[in-house]
Amino acid sequence: MSAPFSFSILARDPRSAARRGRITTPHGTIETPAFMPVGTAGTVKSLTPEDVQDLGFDVILGNTYHLALRPGEEVIRRLGGLHRFMNWPRTLLTDSGGFQVLSLADRSTLSDDGVAFRSHLDGSLLMMTPERSMAIQEALGSDIAMAFDDCPPLPSERSRLEAAVSRTTRWAARCRAVFPGDGRALFGIVQGGDDHELRERSAEAVRAIGFEGYAIGGVSVGESADRSRAVVSRTAPLLPEAQPRYLMGMGTPADLVDMKDLGIDLFDCELPTRNARNGSLFTGGRSIQIKRQEFRDDPRPLDESCGCYVCRHYSRAYLRHLYVAREILSMRLNTLHNLHQYAALMRRAREAIEAGRYADLLREARTTWGA
């Protein structure tokens, strides 16, 4: 294993808050800004870990709740941890299960102690507390663990947002108290919905506890894109300058370019892989629906300026055929292409920041994508 967790800022854009950094973890480095493909159950759907490495990604996200249910954290621990279990030699970040407070609200009961989930697999009871979340993530062996938080939907009454901030703060302190100081990192999460005063309160409380990194949670949970961006623009400056800043679950190409301008270092979102499986493919800043009849006889690659494996070898007509025929290869090729687009965007962002030209990339994005 390599060095313990650390973060350094290598370059700053002179006309924005965008910064180019490097995170060091026990399993290697993450060049930031970085996007993390979502591997909820220990796999980025339809791809091998080698595919993900070849695309240029340094880190994958796994999920505590889902892996605890299947195959179970003790199985993974006995088999050498999640890195060995899924054959991923690079950095792993694990979500704490806090998002499932929102996504599985109809199957859970929330209290100040934690959340009682009824498994979506077999109805069995899973009690998730801050201590249990930390124990599961320790068994998985992730390099970056997330504090357990209460993620409310939007819109929500102010009383619900206040309760989430209070609960997230108490849970963060409980996570910090049991997290081992073993070279791995624990990130705290700021909640508060779309209420700026509550975001300030949450950020101050989480900063006071002290973490190796900080995340903005509770965005893209029912509000408009403009509202999400307004929340991030006001919250990002509240986070410590010297630690990585992670925006959870917000991730169109336009989002990524816009949010890096605010100093965000890490991103994750299911969008590129989910859209790929649904036949929505990114080309030059826009998306096309590959199932459309217009592509039936189209010999062109998806994107003539894209150098990915898919665009070098296959036509739009063939990709449409695979999707319409529901062939498994459709999911794989579409996912390879979409993630290549995201990896290329991250590289362009890092290069633009290093060259002091991030404003040019932002201007291009706003012209092309309406960011």
Predicted confidence (pLDDT) per residue in 17-48, tens digit: 999 999 999 999 999 999 999 999 999 999 99
Confidence of residue 2 (pLDDT cuts 50, 70, 90): low
Residue 277 in any domain: the answer is: no
Determine the pLDDT at residue 351.
Answer: 98
Residue 96 in any domain: the answer is: yes
Percent of the chain with pLDDT over 70: 98
199 contacts: CB under 8 Å, gap ≥ 6: 190, 191, 192, 193, 231, 234, 235, 238
Residue 281 in any domain: the answer is: no
Determine the pLDDT at residue 370.
Answer: 56
Residue 90 in any domain: the answer is: yes
Confidence of residue 371 (pLDDT cuts 50, 70, 90): very low
Find the mean pLDDT for residues 244-271.
Answer: 95
Residue 335 in any domain: the answer is: no
Residue 257 in any domain: the answer is: yes
Kindly report the pTM of this predicted structure: 0.96
**C-beta atoms surrounding 368 within 10 Å:** 14
- Mean of all residue pLDDT scores within the chain: 95
Q: Quick one: which of 261, 306, 266, 309 has its CA closest to 283?
A: 306
Statement: residue 216 has pLDDT above 60: yes
Phi-psi region of 97 (alpha: psi -120 to 50; beta: other; left: phi over 0): left
Find the mean pLDDT for residues 307-325.
Answer: 98
Determine the pLDDT at residue 34.
Answer: 98
Indicate the number of domains in the chain. Answer: 1
Residue 237's Cβ-side half-sphere holds a number of Cα atoms within 13 Å equal to 8
Contact 49, 86 (CB under 8 A): yes
Predicted confidence (pLDDT) per residue in 94-103, tens digit: 999 999 988 9
Rounded to the nearest 10 degrees, the angle between the axes of helix 225-235 and helix 196-209 is 40
Q: At 306, which amino acid appears?
A: C
Determine the pLDDT at residue 368.
Answer: 75
Find the mean pLDDT for residues 261-278.
Answer: 97
Distance, CA of 4 to CA of 275 (rounded, Å): 35
Domain that holds residue 76: 6-271
50 contacts: CB under 8 Å, gap ≥ 6: none
Distance, CA of 323 to CA of 336 (rounded, Å): 14
* Strand order across the beta sheet in which 115-118 lies: 108-110, 115-118, 125-128
3-state helix, strand, coil in the chain (%, to 5): 45, 20, 35
Determine the pLDDT at residue 9.
Answer: 98
Residue 253 in any domain: the answer is: yes
Residue 13 in any domain: the answer is: yes
Statement: residue 1 has pLDDT above 60: no
Predicted confidence (pLDDT) per residue in 140-150, tens digit: 999 999 999 99
Q: Identify the sign of the CA torsion 294, 296, 298, 302.
A: positive
Collapsing DSSP states into helix, strand and coil, what is residue 213? strand
Q: Quick one: which of 212, 221, 271, 337 has its CA closest to 37?
A: 271
Confidence of residue 285 (pLDDT cuts 50, 70, 90): low
Distance, CA of 371 to CA of 1 (rounded, Å): 40
- Please report, for the domain that includes residue 20, its CATH number: 3.20.20.105
Q: How far is CA 3 from the centre of its chain?
A: 23
Two structure tokens written together for 340? 């290549």
Find the mean pLDDT for residues 192-217.
Answer: 98
Percent of the chain with pLDDT over 90: 91
The residues that are catalytic are 95, 268
Asked which of 135-139, 250-254, 256-260 is least confident by mean pLDDT, the reply is: 250-254
Two structure tokens written together for 8? 């350094």
Determine the pLDDT at residue 231.
Answer: 96
Find the mean pLDDT for residues 228-250.
Answer: 96
Confidence of residue 366 (pLDDT cuts 50, 70, 90): confident
Q: How far is CA 12 from the centre of its chain?
A: 23
Two structure tokens written together for 38? 């979502």
Collapsing DSSP states into helix, strand and coil, what is residue 369? helix
